[in-house]
Chains A and B, each alone.
Chain A
């Protein structure tokens, strides 16, 4: 497979950037003379050399190169173009920047405190800003739903109430292919682009707006992606590489070192979530409030939407909640810009609310599973917003999970064992706008052209199998190719658990059109589907842990994922989404933390920012609860984002079960567990 870093063009030049060493400052001066005189250097450029505006996926607040101000350690300040990557990197070290440092804000709490230093002077003035001046300084977004008043009233009357705050850490998506870009500008002005990006069609206008050119003049080339997990959706280095290619008149290539990726791309938001859940004497939920403050970092433009959904309970219609309130505030801070990562918002919210459910169960005196069972919605009920759903299968999924549970007996001697449960459900999108072209090949094979990039989730396999089934052909006789953005009208890009459902809708139309075609010529279909009632896919996880009471060390023995499914197009790819998702949930729970105290990323390489290895991961078990009703004629439910969000709470609940230590802050590290064990009465 060919990835962006494998692309090489004649006359290629290499880009490296000088990055800010301070979290918040005015740039007094930039001296590029020493860097520019180094062997192999073609040019050194700063913001004043570029004719660009700010960019972003939603709000356009990101600078291509810092203009008057830097807002986080790692921000791009100057760019070197050289004959080799090594020469460019060496010269970038020699760019001299003088800063007038400004007071900074390193956490969301600091950022929203009255009188806090402002990260952006007028964030509401950026194109597509989500906030207004009235909402206050240092905010990226504020989303409120439900009624706080109703919740307060219901909590007053509740027999039991949990009232706790939970925090989660910033983590990186951890794809193993660093972000990279190759840009080539032809004399006609046409731009050819190879980018680690999963939404090529939408990307064009994001870049075009920034550079002041027409979106049609950009052709995004098909290329494999070395992992995404939500991190590869923004223009990233593309505006810079295109602008530089225009300046030097040669193609440019920029490949981030992994450290730069950790410092400057789009990590998951750390959150502080204040949860209150009340219930009556039987354990029926009476009120639910989740109030989240998230650290959005220095820029909001790396996110496809300026918000994250923190509706762990609400989004899929999970529990029956008479009085509901939810608020999510994303703050600007002087830290790494945050973005979306696998089920954005849900891992944070689910850790908080599913931990709180266990704390509530303890108060009521119910088994954690029983408390959940009695509150899970049943098919036919409306969700907290009064919406109808295709079905709710939370109870069936929970039953199946409990039936499959086998208690492990392999905890090391002297260690305590515990079992923890957590429930999550993710909505399968029912709308899409996408396109597909089927081209008959001379040898009888069929070529299927799509705009969906293969991010590593098996989307091309899924397309092949859908068509093979619909056209009664052998999968081997169908070639699925991703074509450049010039060749198809539209595609929504990967993400949001939408790929399979969206492919199924467009493949369905393509199959019909293919059968109805009169001549042996290519058929092109474009679908723009608005979607019907939503459906959720429940994921119930049960974690089993062993905890060393002497050291606080936690060993996760097993994660059992029980998943509510409809039709499965490709069993193996489906299973890998389950396992990979649970592995990622485990890393979030126990290992990963960018550690941004004082505005520096302290885990700035993959040695310190620890991704789970084959030795670290627990045993993964899976139960599929078949027979669900999915979306479209292919009858599918999403899977990519179902098993990551519940893991952290399942493990935290298991630790509490084992040693009585209630972890409310991620990651779950031995020191934290030990401190709680020692503090216990």
Chain B
């Protein structure tokens, strides 16, 4: 089927199977920042924004994004460069595989509730697993991003 959506602010059209997952469509377009971890909607490595709402692209049918704005980490990094800077500055990453998902979720939190407490940050970000950091620096990075906004 033919799909149309606004990927990182740019209208695009592409062909995809009706059951294609959004993660595969995005990655096949060359945007490999979105990562596949668990593939079952648990780890959040594949998080993207569809209609400004964070979704697990590993479970999300590409067809459901028809006509919608879709933002991946590549686009978010341009939309708000301060966000990535906060992660770099606070060293909110080690191996980096969870980072794209963390960044997208942090951005979504900023849209929703930029005065979140530490506990609210941890709650909101709990769908983004990280095996490396123990979350301390990630929570700090999100905190400093929200403060910057």
Contacts and interface: CB of A to CB of B under 8 A. Distances in A.
Q: Does B associate with A?
A: yes
A606 B39 CA distance: 9
A576 B129 contact: no
Interface stretch (A65-73, A362-370, A454-462): A454-462
Interface string A606-639: 1100011111110010000000000000000000
Interface stretch (A56-64, A173-181, A379-387, A514-522): A173-181
A617 B135 CA distance: 8
A617 B134 CA distance: 8
Given A178-B36, A225-B95, A615-B122, A607 B42 contact: yes
A629 B90 CA distance: 29
B131 A229 contact: yes
Interface of A is mostly: loop
Interface in B133-149: 133-139
Nearest to B136: A579
B141 to A, nearest CB: 12
A679 interface: no
B111 interface: no
A455 B96 CA distance: 10
Contact of B139 (A3, A607, A614): A614
Interface in A230-258: 255, 257-258
Given A258-B37, A614-B125, A615-B126, A605 B42 contact: yes
Contacts of B139: 614
Contact of B32 (A6, A612, A613, A620): A6
Contacts of B131: 173-176, 227, 229, 580, 584, 611
Interface string B32-45: 10011111111101
A606 B37 contact: yes
B128 interface: yes
Give the dominant DSSP class at B's interface. loop
A2 B138 CA distance: 21
Interface residues of B, number: 37
Contact of B137 (A229, A457, A572): A572
Residue with the greatest number of chain B CB neighbours at <10 A, chosen from A173, A226, A575, A582 = A226
Interface string A324-360: 0000000000000000000000000000000000000
B94 interface: yes
Contacts of A175: 95, 97, 131
A132 interface: no
B91 A572 contact: yes
A173 B130 CA distance: 12
Contacts of B82: none
A576 B139 CA distance: 13
19 contacts: A175-B95, A175-B97, A175-B131, A176-B95, A176-B98, A178-B37, A227-B132, A456-B94, A580-B94, A581-B134, A606-B40, A606-B129, A607-B40, A611-B43, A613-B126, A614-B121, A615-B122, A615-B123, A620-B136
Interface of B: 17, 24, 32, 35-43, 45, 91, 94-98, 121-123, 125-139
Given A572-B91, A614-B135, 11 more contacts: A2-B32, A86-B24, A176-B97, A255-B36, A455-B95, A456-B132, A458-B94, A580-B132, A580-B134, A583-B134, A607-B42
